[in-house]
Amino acid sequence: MLDSFAKQLGCPFMKIAILGGGHGCYAAAADLSEAGHEVRLWRRDGAALAPVVEAGSSIRLKDAQGERDVRIAMATANIGDAMRGAELIVIPSPAIAQSDIARAMAPHLVDGQVVFLPPGTFGSYVMAQIVRDSGNQADVAWAETGTLPYLARKHGEREVNVTIRAIHLPTGVYPARKEKEAIEVIRQAYPAVHGCGDALSGALMNAGPIIHPPLMVMNAAPLQHFERWDIHNEGTQPSVRAVTDQLDHERIAVRDAFGHAGPHYPLADHYNNDKWMYGDAHKKLVKSGDWREHIDLHTHRYIVEDTEMGLAFLASAARHAGVDAPIAQGLLAIVGGFLGRDLRKGPRTFESLGLAGLSRDALKERLHDGR
């Protein structure tokens, strides 16, 4: 009754579930609660969630406006409680966690819910298939965008620092037939969201596989030598930028080959002006000091998510589209060299997802209709 009345008055109030326990999840829970939404935060590790619960379900939010405690409606280790009645389900968790989260979600999803993955790494398609294979045929919209809505880092067990918020979030939807309604729902939480077509278009907006693999490969020696290293400060030099720009040109060429319209949000804008997804963010990111950190080249998400999954997906999309992508292929080969495995045969490629044999029209139809 209360939420219906709020909507009649034009209020942005929604019931939102946040699934996960990382930096972006805590930032989303605090930020969306402060915006007036009823937020339920789910984290499977109840012990890790306990500091939030014991503080009266509150998160300490730090940003340019200062520091304050933000109370959220629910912090729980019961995913059903978090999802019940939620109009929007936000999953700002790494792609490596998506399959497990999809299986946990499957018994609780119902018709009309919208799931938002910021970013997705084509997880909108992957998670939808897992849920469908579980026997749940609910009519759900799955959406994904190119980056997290926040540049954020946790500073404690219940404290998160938000350095900057995204100003553009190009978002693709699976199935694409539900794009209009899904975007309308997500924009109530994130006005920066705008539709960019289907799930493949959304996946090919993902910035992580463009930024992080070159930084990992070209900073491998200092990352392994120093206890902490800032890949975005000392680690971002002209030679690194040159490789990153070439890799992004390959991404945009793949988008063009699949017929995805612009804007493509070229990564060069992140460094040169305020037109990118985070606006003029790079200087603020470096100034914060939050990214001077220890990075394990075998286990960090920049490797296991952005390279082994995200970059491998981009390279496979290039193969399918007939686009030459030597930088993507070369980076995969080098990272595969120090991981000791062939990243072309990873879990998130056109080949492993059963899409390689589809014609361009058949792929477009599948992404539109959902099946």
Domain boundaries, the chain: 2-203, 208-369
CATH number of 208-369: 1.10.1040.10
CA angle 283, 284, 289 (to 5 degrees): 105
2-203 is classed in which CATH architecture? 3-Layer(aba) Sandwich (3.40)
- pLDDT, one tens digit per residue, over 161-173 is 999 899 999 999 9
* Spacing of C-alpha 250 from chain mean position: 20
- ω into 94 cis (within 30 of 0): no
- pLDDT, one tens digit per residue, over 318-352 is 999 999 999 999 999 999 999 999 999 999 999 99
- pLDDT, one tens digit per residue, over 23-56 is 999 999 999 999 999 999 999 999 999 999 999 9
The residues near 56 (Cβ < 8 Å, ≥ 6 apart) are 71
Tell me, yes or no, if the two domains 2-203 and 208-369 fold the same way: no
Residue environment code for 151-165, b if the CB has 16+ CB neighbours within 10 A, otherwise e: bbbbeeebbbbbbbb
- pLDDT, one tens digit per residue, over 251-272 is 999 999 999 999 999 888 777 7
Decide: 318 and 351 in contact? Cβ < 8 Å: no
Give the residues across from 92 on adjacent strands.
none
Q: What is the mean pLDDT of residues 1-19?
A: 61
Longest CA–CA span in the chain (Å) reads 59
Task: Provide the pairing of β-strand 66-71 with 58-63.
Answer: antiparallel
SS3 at position 295: coil
> What count of other Cβ atoms lies within 10 Å of the Cβ of residue 237?
11
Of 133, 201, 129, 108, the closest CA to residue 347 belongs to 129
Q: What is the mean pLDDT of residues 217-223?
A: 95
Q: Is the dihedral of CA 343, 348, 352, 358 positive or negative?
A: negative
In which residue are the tokens 């992004």 written?
248
pLDDT of amino acid 210: 96
